């Protein structure tokens, strides 16, 4: 029987993280690199990709590579797995973290429902959901033969629960319908893939609650009062979950949605 250290070790495995230069993606990349994984950082900004990748290699002495990709570009997304293999020698874990989020600067996005646009809806679906479908499909043959294949999708509490709009009273912040619908679809895509890709690839979801990023004090106060653990999340709160689902600690876990929300959904 293997020890816990042996079960959680990621030495020799390659992890691809989309949105890897963003807040949550970067924390997850740091976590798997600490466990010995080689890491492919994918993000739309080339400079951030390369800086994040180089930082991981320096800090943990692991191979890492950056890939600047617009997740709305299907051909570039589908070419990613082969590019990662060319740079890092394989692919074992895919973390789908890239997304349009609540603060994304899109016209017709974080505005009242009557002002949200179909064009913005389509753009959000393309990045938040369609790109996950395309990338997972392209990566599946490699993940299947790795012996440790794992897909981890990053959803949101708003893919599970309806928004409490009282949080946003008198604030410029918003909660777009396309964000909620795409994140809810991602959870169901996880369930679907977990049976279709079994037994060679495990597929699970991590669903974060609200993350503190210097939001308006009124929003933070309202959010905290509605959360049993009485705080918003930090990026560090998701490190353990990605290590668990990427490693053999979760070798018998698939089709699950791990909600990390400080108890938000209990009430």
Q: What is the pLDDT of residues 82-106, one digit of tens each?
A: 999 999 999 999 999 999 875 567 8
Q: What is the pLDDT of residue 95?
A: 98
| Relative orientation angle of helices 177-196 and 118-125, to the nearest 10 degrees | 30
161 a catalytic residue: no
- CA-based torsion, 248, 249, 251, 254: positive or negative: negative
pTM beyond 0.95: yes
Q: Which domains does the chain have, with CATH numbers?
A: 4-105+122-164+176-211+236-257 (3.40.50.720)
Q: What is the pLDDT of residue 104?
A: 61
- Which one is catalytic: 60, 158, 168, 179? 179
Number of H helices, E strands in the chain: 9, 7
* CA pair distance 192, 189, nearest whole angstrom: 5
């Amino acid at each position: 029987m293997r020890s816990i250290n042996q079960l959680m070790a990621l030495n020799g495995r390659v992890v691809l993280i989309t949105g890897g230069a963003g807040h949550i993606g970067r924390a997850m990349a740091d976590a798997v690199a600490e466990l010995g994984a080689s890491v492919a950082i994918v993000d739309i900004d080339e400079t951030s990709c390369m800086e994040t990748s180089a930082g991981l290699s320096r800090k943990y002495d692991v191979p890492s590579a950056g890939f600047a990709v617009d997740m709305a570009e299907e051909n570039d997304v589908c070419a990613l797995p082969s590019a990662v293999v060319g740079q890092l020698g394989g692919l074992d874990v895919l973390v789908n973290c890239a997304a349009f989020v609540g603060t994304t600067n899109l016209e017709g996005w974080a505005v009242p429902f009557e002002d949200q646009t179909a064009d913005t809806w389509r753009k959000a679906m393309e990045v938040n959901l369609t790109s996950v479908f395309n990338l997972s499909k392209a990566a599946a043959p490699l993940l299947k033969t790795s012996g440790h294949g794992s897909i981890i999708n990053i959803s949101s509490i708003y893919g599970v629960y309806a928004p409490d709009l009282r949080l946003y009273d008198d604030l410029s912040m918003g909660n777009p319908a396309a964000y909620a619908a795409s994140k809810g679809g991602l959870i169901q895509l996880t369930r679907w893939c977990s049976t279709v890709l079994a037994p060679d690839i495990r597929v699970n979801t991590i669903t974060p609650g609200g993350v503190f990023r210097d939001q308006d004090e009124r929003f933070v106060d309202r959010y905290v009062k509605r959360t049993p653990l009485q705080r918003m999340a930090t990026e560090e709160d998701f490190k353990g979950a990605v290590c668990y689902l990427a490693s053999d600690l979760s070798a018998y876990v698939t089709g699950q949605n791990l909600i990390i929300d400080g108890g938000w959904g209990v009430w």
